[in-house]
Amino acid sequence: MLVTRKHLSRRTFLKGVGTAIALPFLDSMVPAFAAPAASQAPNRLFFTYIPIGAIMEEWFPAGGEKDFQFKRTLKPIADFHDDVCIVGGLDHHTGYALGDGGGDHARAGACYLTGVHPKKTSGADIHAGVSVDQILASQMGSKTKFASLELGCDDTRTVGACDSGYSCAYQNSVSWRTPESPMPPETNPRTVFERMFGADDLSLSADVRARQNARRKSILDFVTEDTKKLSADLGASDRHKIDEYLYAVRDIERRIENASGEQNQFNPSIEKPTGVPVLFADYLKLMFDIQVLAMQADLTRTATFMIGREGSQRTYEEIGIPEAHHPLTHHRGNKEFIEKVTQINTFHVQQLAYFLGKLKSTKEGDGTLLDHSMVVYGSGIADGSSHSHVNLPILIAGRGNGALESGRYLRYPEGTPTTNLWLTLLDRMGVHPESIGDSTGRLEHLTSL
């Protein structure tokens, strides 16, 4: 039999002046007669962090392991019942004071992915631990353009004291490259987009880059000829995939441009960073869509996304809540405050549902991006009023290339370290550290391998 199919490298790019656009996983990237392993899409481990926990009575489902029913907060992801695993019983003992007094928000952020009790200091001598995403990045980062991505939606600073004598670095970053080196999240979607696709020279001033942006219609203008040449050699299925992918790139670019010209209808006296949408829901969707592109193009295998920093003071006028998030969580049983925090929690999950929907609708190889990913959603605090660090709100979406058995509500014994979950997920990524922070072993029953 004559085999004529063109074989493309997984690292094929559409190239133009000042830009290189990585491609999604195409049928043409699988050699003819390749073994099944060669055609398998990469696995990813992404983390989405929610600040200040949740109203726990509305978080954990009712029912059994497989016949569970979502309560109010998680109802927005009801359509993904069989794609998620709710994990109960996980603790972060290292989030408690342990003799250091106040500072639960700082400790929650610093220990969430490290399992290490941070040193109480407001100076430069910060010390926490290496986070799970950076353990993965150190082992697999050479396979992709970016070893990891760190994203967020709250402008942060890494110097000075923010919480009871703890450095701001602790609550503003969940990703730590070394015990002394937090990875501050990038909050401007334009900057992230430019990093991913190299559209502009970031060494230039903002004014010069703005003039350059005004002279061009799209980053895709630079790769038009390369796109035509490549498409001529591809089958109909691959051409369709590229068309969808480039449409998504252009859509994100257009939304960033639109956001640059918006006026902040809630507080016009505040200067909004270029490229950040006014409505928080639009902002979150844009940041989630950027992560979808990063997965499609295999730009990274791991990322952290902080919906908000610990102790977030964000207000939610767009859903009728003008009060700051953090003070509301100190509800002390006040039903009005509890209701508002529940609405905020539910709003966050609505945006998660959007993300999962995009992943599930994006085909890749023999499945979807959601099939080939593990997306962790959760917080380092359970109840914000009591600053509890036990039975944390955590779920995992996706199947991790068949490594996870989804559609379950698992409850582990009280005192089970959250770091045991991180070890288990790293195993599924092919990375096997002996321990992470306060871990005591792997979790049973979570994986299908």
173 domain residue, yes or no: yes
pLDDT in the model for residue 15 = 66
Nearby residues of 102 by Cβ (< 8 Å), 6 or more positions away: 163, 164, 165
415 domain residue, yes or no: yes
pLDDT in the model for residue 127 = 97
CATH code, 376: 3.40.720
- The mean pLDDT value of the chain amounts to 86
Closest residue by Cα to residue 153 from 302, 286, 25: 286
96 domain residue, yes or no: yes
207 domain residue, yes or no: no
209 domain residue, yes or no: no
Higher-pLDDT residue of 161, 32? 161
Strands (E), 134-257: 149-152, 161-163, 166-167, 176-178, 181-182
pLDDT tens column, 278-289: 999 999 999 999
Task: Count how many domains the chain has.
Answer: 1
Domain around 133? 22-30+38-187+276-428
User: DSSP letter string over 298-348?
Assistant: TS-SEEEEESS-TT---EEGGGTEEEEHHHHH--TT-HHHHHHHHHHHHHH
120 domain residue, yes or no: yes
Closest residue by Cα to residue 250 from 27, 42, 14: 14
Question: 49: helix, coil or strand?
Answer: strand
Average pLDDT of the segment spanning 25-53: 75
Model confidence band, residue 109 (pLDDT cutoffs 50, 70, 90)? very high
Average pLDDT of the segment spanning 48-68: 97
pLDDT tens column, 256-268: 877 766 544 434 3
Pairing of strands 84-91, 181-182: unpaired
pLDDT in the model for residue 147 = 95
Chain centroid to Cα 438, Å, comes to: 23
List % helix, strand, coil for the chain (3-state, nearest 5): 35, 15, 45
pLDDT in the model for residue 406 = 95
User: Is the pLDDT assigned to residue 64 strictly greater than 90?
Assistant: yes
442 domain residue, yes or no: no
Model confidence band, residue 243 (pLDDT cutoffs 50, 70, 90)? confident
206 domain residue, yes or no: no
pLDDT tens column, 292-317: 999 999 999 999 999 999 999 999 99
pLDDT in the model for residue 254 = 81
CA–CA separation, 202 and 137 (whole Å): 24
Helix axes 236-260, 280-296, angle to 10 degrees: 150
CA–CA separation, 346 and 332 (whole Å): 20
Amino acid letter, residue 217: K
CB atoms within 10 A of CB 209: 18
Q: Tell me if 75 sits within 8 A of 320, measured CB to CB.
A: no
Model confidence band, residue 247 (pLDDT cutoffs 50, 70, 90)? confident
pLDDT above 90 covers a percentage of the chain that reads: 66
User: Is the pLDDT assigned to residue 323 strictly greater than 90?
Assistant: yes
Average pLDDT of the segment spanning 245-252: 79
Model confidence band, residue 357 (pLDDT cutoffs 50, 70, 90)? very high
pLDDT tens column, 188-242: 998 998 888 765 454 556 565 555 555 455 666 766 677 777 777 777 777 777 7
